[in-house]
Amino acid sequence: MRPFSVKAFAKINLGLLITGKRADGYHTLETIFAPINWYDTLEFKDSELLSMSCSNADLPVDDSNLCIKAAKSLQRFAGLQKGVAMKLHKEIPFGAGLGGGSSDAAAVLRVLNEFWQINASAVDLHTLAVKLGADVPYFLATKGLAYARGIGDELDDLRLTIPYYIVTVFPEEHIATAWAYKNFHARFDRELPDLKHRVSDLCLSGKKDGLWAFENDFETAVFDHFASVRRVKLLLLEAGAIFASLSGSGSAVFGLFEHEHDAVAAMICLPETYRTSLTPPRFSMEQ
């Protein structure tokens, strides 16, 4: 088979509410996942051995890499030892809260299930995905917006897309998920907004008065410790964003814009060292 490649898109969290902590130490949450036009590229080609290389030397390609873990989980599931050579062209920054590693892992599960002719069911792939990471099932099964609960693995495909330009900014701060969960300010006893209802109003009716509901529970702690991240949110709002927020548990910040010229102007006003992405309205992960 000739070498081929696929895109693994990133996501933002439109609202991220930490709702509790389970006995096993995992936190429960509610969030809206939304895809953005920022992606890694994975190349695959025939090989007798399972191997991986990466364009970013800072990212390990041993058994600790989620792509290798995904491939080996399929091997164990199917009871086979087939090989493949994978090359990851890394563009999504890690430590950003954009789910790049999870998206890469989901792409590996999806591709190798066909490449190795395993034909695992969607249910089986979901089970493998959950074991790899809480965000992996989203990238595996959904193209647009999804409501997530549990540890992020219980998904409702909303079949919606965001009707605004999305500017996503990585201010060159790497924030570990473990740090974010250790330092966030818990508010488990509050009354939760209906995220599904609010995002439906936003996407179908253009109602912006419910944007207040999309808060991120990591934001206060991250902004207290990383002034540069807080500053990005302020810059996006000053540039005309109708809403801006931290994404996920990392340092990336996104803003929603009604007009493309405002979105582009916002990107220009940011420090040149910051990596950015512009996502058009109604974007989905269809390839």
Question: What are the catalytic residues?
Answer: 11, 135
Half-sphere exposure of 269 (CA within 13 A, CB side): 17
Q: Which residue has the tokens 């974010």?
A: 180
Report the alpha-carbon distance of residue 119 to residue 117 in Å, rounded.
6
Question: Is the Cβ–Cβ distance between 123 and 155 less than 8 Å?
Answer: no
Structure letter (DSSP) for residue 192: P
Question: How does strand 243-246 pair with strand 275-279?
Answer: unpaired
Q: At what angle do helices 66-78 and 122-132 cross, to 10 degrees?
A: 140
If one counts every other C-beta atom within 10 angstroms of the C-beta of residue 64, the result is: 9
Q: For residue 170, give the 3-state DSSP assignment.
A: strand
Q: At what angle do helices 100-115 and 122-132 cross, to 10 degrees?
A: 140
Q: For residue 224, give the 3-state DSSP assignment.
A: helix
Q: How many residues can be counted in the chain?
A: 287
Q: For residue 255, give the 3-state DSSP assignment.
A: strand
Q: Where are the alpha helices (DSSP H) in the chain?
A: 66-78, 100-115, 122-132, 136-141, 177-183, 195-200, 219-225, 227-238, 260-268
Query: What spatial distance separates the first Cα and last Cα of the chain, rounded to whole Å?
Result: 20
